[in-house]
Structure 1
Amino acid sequence: MRLNYAGIVPISTVDWRGRAAVTIFFRGCPLRCAYCLNHQYLDESKYVELDFVKDQIKKSKPFVSAVVFSGGEPLMQDVIVPLAEFVREMGLAIGIHTNGCYPEMANELIKRKLVDKFFVDIKAPPDNPDLYGKVAGFGEYEAVKKTPEKIITSLIETLEIVDSCGMELELRTTLIRDFIGSREEIASIAAWISENIKNSEVTYVLQQGIPEYSLRESLRETQVLEREELYELGKIAKSFLNDVRIRTKENGEEIIFDSM
């Protein structure tokens, strides 16, 4: 089998908090988020043999406790199943970064006990299809075939599957000034999570988007949201959720202890 492969970080301490992990990047994605930093992975193909990727993981095994599959969108590729089986045989934990568009594959991995933690992007309030579609690139990029409503339906199904099995779950929203991440939008997302996710220990992270590397050129001159601005937005989310964090280039990850 072959994998549409984008690259590897042999030892990462930022892709899974509290663990050293080897991160494998998959090519391809059904969305075209305007702020995407990895847009070079979205369209071009670069297939490699599965054994090549296994060898890369073996080299990192003495130094890590986990493997993270990221992208792009790793759940697009069926090869993730045999690769996850290999990782499990090596005794390493498995984390998956996903946009939630492939609930069937998420369910398959859970049934096979081939995943330990999901990191799921919530691009915008799930009860606002127009805004979700805008962030995901619907109507702007031909590659985005799913309607916003179908994207949200898949996201919700993925979250229900993960939530129902009590698996460790981190939800994440990337914020870009004047594009996504207003006070009202963060309140709406956090309220939705509070109402729809049963696991009260779910982690919600507000990520500082880096506009200069965005897929959409018009965003590249946008001023980065400062740490203090993200902290204030985090306090809004904290009004709804127990575990809220912000993630910035300057300070890394910080826990929000107080709410508005």
Structure 2
Amino acid sequence: MKVNYAGTIPISTLDWTGKAAVTIFFRGCPLRCPYCQNHPYLEGPSLVELDFVKEKIKTSKPFVSAVVFSGGEPLMQEAIIPLAEFAKSIGLLVGVHTNGCYPERVAELVERKLVDKLFVDIKAPLDNPELYGKVAGFETYRVADIRPSRTPEEITAAVTKTIEIADTRGMELELRTTVIRNLIGNEKEIFLISAWISKHVKNKGVTYVLQQGIPEHSLQKDLRKTRILEREELFELGEIAKSFLEKVRIRTKEEGEEVI
């Protein structure tokens, strides 16, 4: 089996809070978020053998307690299943960063007890497909060769299903919104996202993280000069989320991760 491989961070303390992990990046994604930092991974094949990636995981094993699969979108690939099996077989926890577009693969991982934590992006209010599509690049790139492969309605339905699967199975779950000035993450939008989580996620221990978007390396060139949200602005948004949710954090370049 081939893996569409993008790279490895042998030891990361940023991709799973509180754990040292080896992070494996995959190529390919069905979305084209204008602010994407990993846009070099969005397209094109870089195929390697499954054993190549297993060896990357194995090499880091003495120094980490977990593997994190990221991208791109790791759940696009069938190889995620045997790689998760391998990681579990050598005693590592498994985390997956996902945009939520592949609930069927999430269900398989959960059913087979091959994942310990899901990190799911909520890019915009899930009851507003039009806005969600804009943030996922549907409007900007829909006439280009790199347009998203799903409609906004399909995206929001899939993300909702992914969260539902994780929630009903008692999975450890982190929901995340990346905030970009004048694109997504104003006070009303964070209010609506937080209210949706509070209403639809039964596990009140869910963590919601507001991430400071860094526009300078964005996929969309005209975003690259956008002024970054200051830590104080993100903190204020975190306080809005906190009025709905028990566990809220912000992540900024200045201060790292902070609990609200």
Deviation at 1:129, TM superposition (A): 1.0
CA offsets, 1:193-243, max 9 Å, x none?
000000000000000000000000010000000000000000000000000
Q: Distance in 1 between matches of 2:204 and 2:24?
A: 30
TM-score (norm: length of structure 2)? 0.97
Which of 242, 247, 251 is the matching residue for 2:246? Answer: 242
Q: Distance in 1 between matches of 2:151 and 2:52?
A: 36
CA offsets, 1:86-137, max 9 Å, x none?
1010010000000000000000001111000000000000011111000001
SS in 2 for 1:140: helix
Query: For 1:102-113, what aligned pairs fall within 5 Å after superposition?
Result: 102-113=102-113
SS in 1 for 2:140: coil
Which of 171, 176, 183 is the matching residue for 2:180? Answer: 176
Compare 140-149 and 202-211 and name the one that shifted more: 140-149
- Hey, what does 2:163 align to over in structure 1? 159
- Hey, what does 1:65 align to over in structure 2? 65
How many residues of Structure 1 are paired with residues of Structure 2 in the alignment? 256
CA offsets, 1:54-98, max 9 Å, x none?
111111000000000000000000011011111010010000000
Q: Which runs of 4+ in 1 moved over 4 A?
A: none
CA offsets, 1:124-172, max 9 Å, x none?
0001111100000113224312111110000011111000011100000
Q: Distance in 2 between matches of 1:125 and 1:235?
A: 17
Give the alignment's Cα RMSD to 1 decimal: 0.6
Question: What amino acid does structure 1 have at the position aligned with 2:255?
Answer: N
1:91 aligns with 2:91: yes
Q: Distance in 2 between matches of 1:197 and 1:158?
A: 11
Identity of aligned residues (%): 68
Q: Where in structure 1 are there 5+ consecutive unaligned residues?
A: none
Q: Where in structure 2 are there 5+ consecutive unaligned residues?
A: none
Q: Distance in 1 between matches of 2:26 and 2:220?
A: 21
Q: Distance in 2 between matches of 1:140 and 1:237?
A: 28
SS in 1 for 2:228: coil
SS in 2 for 1:159: helix
TM-score (norm: length of structure 1)? 0.97
